[in-house]
Amino acid sequence: MTETKRNSRITFSYFFKTFLIVGFPLHVWALLMVFRDLEFVSERTEMWDAVGYAGYTLMFTMVESLLLAVVVWGISLLFPRNWSNSRALSVSGSAFTVIAGASIIDMAFHAFNQPRISRQYLYGLENFTTLTYALIAAAVVVGIAVSVLLILKTKWGEKAFVEIFDRIILLGYFYLLVDLAGIVIVILRNVSETL
């Protein structure tokens, strides 16, 4: 994350980096679900419907990423003004990634409910709901606290998170291209249906 100048968080560049970081876990999950469901949808109807399903999924994931990026960006504006952009982006990005990771794990246990660990988790949710949610919340708080402390209290921690998010930002450009392909597919499907 190149440092332009301190306190320049109200820029398109900073927001766009936030958008790419926020979009990473959302796209990982969306693509995992697309690949899981693609065969089922194509067997049930036809391959073009499966491609359309993928296109709509990617389009909605991009919109979801944009909305959540606005929230994360807004929260990062509340951080101290003397923080560098890379520090603010690392703190907000790591907190969001921990929350998104917990959400992905929860959805994965529901989507892939055959393995023993998934059944145990679902049993816990059903029979010990409050305790299970309390443990999840505690794990999220600990995860955020550890990542924020590493960023704020250690030079190597901040540097490591900056490097990780630099790589995620690069990968985010690929996901953006995939989203654009999804939008093109949605447009083509809607145009072909009207003809």
pLDDT in tens, 134-172: 999 999 999 999 999 999 999 999 999 999 999 999 999
pLDDT band for position 7 (cuts 50, 70, 90): low
The token pair at 118 is 């998934």
pTM of the model: 0.88
Q: Enter the DSSP assignment of 7.
A: T
Angle at 111 between CA 172 and CA 106, to 5 degrees: 70
Residues ≥6 apart with Cβ < 8 Å to 60: none
Tokens of 180: 């654009």
* CA separation, residue 109 to residues 22, 33, 103, 124, 128 (Å): 22, 13, 10, 12, 16
Does 181 have pLDDT greater than 90?
A: yes
With CA atoms as reference, report the closest residue to 92 among 73, 106, 119, 116: 73
